[in-house]
Amino acid sequence: MRVWIIVLCVLIVVGIGVRLAFAGPVPDVGTTAPDFSLPSESGAPVSLKDYRSKWVVLYFYPKDFTTGCTIEAHNFQRDQDQYAKKNAVVIGVSVDSADSHKQFCAKEGLNFKLLADTDHKVSTEYGSVMNFGVTQVAARHTFIIDPEGKIAKSYTSVDPNKHSEEVLAALDELEKK
């Protein structure tokens, strides 16, 4: 009986692994970041070009109210003062609706922008769409965009528990260049 349970668990994990697929390549470091305009949690449109002259931490995340996404958002929120001192803004993007983002921000005390990419266009341009079975979500990717609008660094493997500290350290290094 135990062997059958183990075999079943392995088949389920392999099956899920096969259904997880990413769409498209991420933009290369040094290239111009794809511009966009998406509705924020307030419904107001936010464009990348609005942040020229600032560092932008553009992070894609799978789903509002999930454990990893909540941890990652809390850590970015905790470090907002440090980002401001570095002339940097944090912007989150997922395929959830603006209303979902509004509720997420209210419940979790977030005061940075969360953008609704409900048609998955921006997530696709950044190579950050993940097929999860029959559903598409944003993959957990982050891009640091320099004040001139170029991609300075990208992360395609993110640990939500320590990612904000990792990004702050990268901003320190990038500012030295």
Annotated catalytic residues are: 69
Which residues are CB-contacts of 40 (< 8 A; sequence separation ≥ 6)? 46, 98, 101, 113, 114, 115, 116
Alpha helices per DSSP H over the chain: 2-19, 67-78, 80-85, 98-108, 121-125, 163-176
- Cα angle value 135/72/172 (rounded, 5°): 125
Number of H helices, E strands in the chain: 6, 10
Tokens 């950050």 sit at which residue?
A: 128
Assigned token pair, 33: 């970041």
| Cβ count near 119 (within 10 Å) | 10
C-beta separation of 130 from 139 below 8 A:
yes
Q: Residue 67 corresponds to which tokens in the numbers above?
A: 């454990």
